[in-house]
Amino acid sequence: MTTLETSKPTLFRFALSGNAHRVELFLSLLGVDYKSVDVDLAGGEQRKPGFLKLNPEGKVPVLVDGDAVITESTAILIYLAEKYDTGTWLPHGPKGRADVQRWLAVTSHDVASGPAAARLVGVFGANLDLPAAQAEGHKLLARLDRQLTGVPFLIGAEPTLADVAVYTYVAHAPEGGISLDDYAKVRAWIVRMESLPGFIGMPKTPVELAA
Ligand SMILES: N[C@@H](CCC(=O)N[C@@H](CS)C(=O)NCC(=O)O)C(=O)O
């Protein structure tokens, strides 16, 4: 971890963290000039006093922006949209706001217990119930495939925060042994997301990181 430079928002992240990636992706899509600081999760840096001062939960991502210290990836997405979005990533009006919140809730529950949990087993060898996580993952993918019938993005014609929140762990679902083969609309949506100006990906595996 390096010292804070207060003039730019600073993202504390880990290169293979999907929760951190969704934030970094949004910073990049918004064109925000930010700094990133790697936290060595494998070496336990997240449990050291310096990092615990930023996030007592010992988890990335953390965004520091001036005096604001924000934790929880979905909260950081909202913060960034409110502060830096000059477009429509966070739709205006009650229905648009509710639609985004619905997908943030799906992200925190169904994405976390499905593809994110399966990937923790596949990539990091976590001791979790892989078949249960994979079954959750397929339920989520079927729901997304239905949602994407006739619309290019999750809540309509334009990409929103909802897409950013859901994208990373869905695109990386195969790393948890969850195939995307049966979900053509989800695969097409992933391609659309990856074509957005400013899109940045997350390395697909630790092997790719070393390449
Ligand atoms: N609900 C949190 C989850 C954050 C989280 O689980 N981060 C993981 C990396 S993906 C972490 O920092 N793990 C370190 C640890 O548990 O020791 C969010 O959305 O930000």
In the chain, domain spans: 10-84, 94-194
Nearest one of 63, 103, 61, 105 to 80, comparing CA atoms: 63
Contact 9, 27 (CB under 8 A): yes
Q: Which parts of 59-129 fold into alpha helices (H)?
A: 73-84, 94-106, 117-124
For ligand 1, whether the C-beta of 123 sits within 6 Å is: no
Contact 38, 13 (CB under 8 A): yes
Q: Which of 52, 60, 70, 78 to mutate to test the pocket of ligand 1 (most atoms within 8 A of CB)?
A: 60
For ligand 1, whether the C-beta of 61 sits within 6 Å is: yes
- For residue 84, the surrounding DSSP H or E stretch is helix 73-84
Tokens representing residue 9 in the block: 């928002």
Ligand 1, atom 5, residue with closest C-alpha: 59
Question: CA quadruple 105, 90, 58, 56: dihedral positive or negative?
Answer: negative
Contact 79, 151 (CB under 8 A): no
Nearest atom within ligand 1 for CA of residue 61: 20
Contact 185, 149 (CB under 8 A): yes
The tens place of each residue's pLDDT in the chain, 211 residues long, gives: 655 556 899 999 999 999 999 999 999 999 999 999 999 999 999 999 999 999 999 999 999 999 999 999 999 999 999 999 998 999 989 999 999 999 999 999 999 999 999 999 999 999 999 999 999 999 999 999 999 999 999 999 999 999 999 999 999 999 999 999 999 999 999 999 999 999 999 998 654 433 3
**Topology at the third CATH level for domain 94-194:** Glutathione S-transferase Yfyf (Class Pi); Chain A, domain 2 (1.20.1050)
Contact 23, 63 (CB under 8 A): yes
For ligand 1, whether the C-beta of 111 sits within 6 Å is: no
The alpha carbon of residue 101 and the mean position of all alpha carbons in its chain are separated, in whole angstroms, by 15
* Separation of CA 60 and ligand 1 centre (Å): 5
User: pTM of this prediction?
Assistant: 0.94
pLDDT at 211: 31
**Topology at the third CATH level for domain 10-84:** Glutaredoxin (3.40.30)
* DSSP at 70: E
Tokens representing residue 124 in the block: 């990091």
Total length of the chain: 211
Q: Which of 19, 70, 107, 166 to mutate to test the pocket of ligand 1 (most atoms within 8 A of CB)?
A: 19
Contact 116, 18 (CB under 8 A): yes
Which 3 state secondary structure label does DSSP give 146? helix
Tokens representing residue 42 in the block: 């494998």
* Separation of CA 83 and ligand 1 centre (Å): 23
Q: Which of 55, 59, 164 to mutate to test the pocket of ligand 1 (most atoms within 8 A of CB)?
A: 59
Tokens representing residue 79 in the block: 């913060």
The alpha carbon of residue 173 and the mean position of all alpha carbons in its chain are separated, in whole angstroms, by 13
Return d(Cα 204, Cα 172) in angstroms, integer. 7
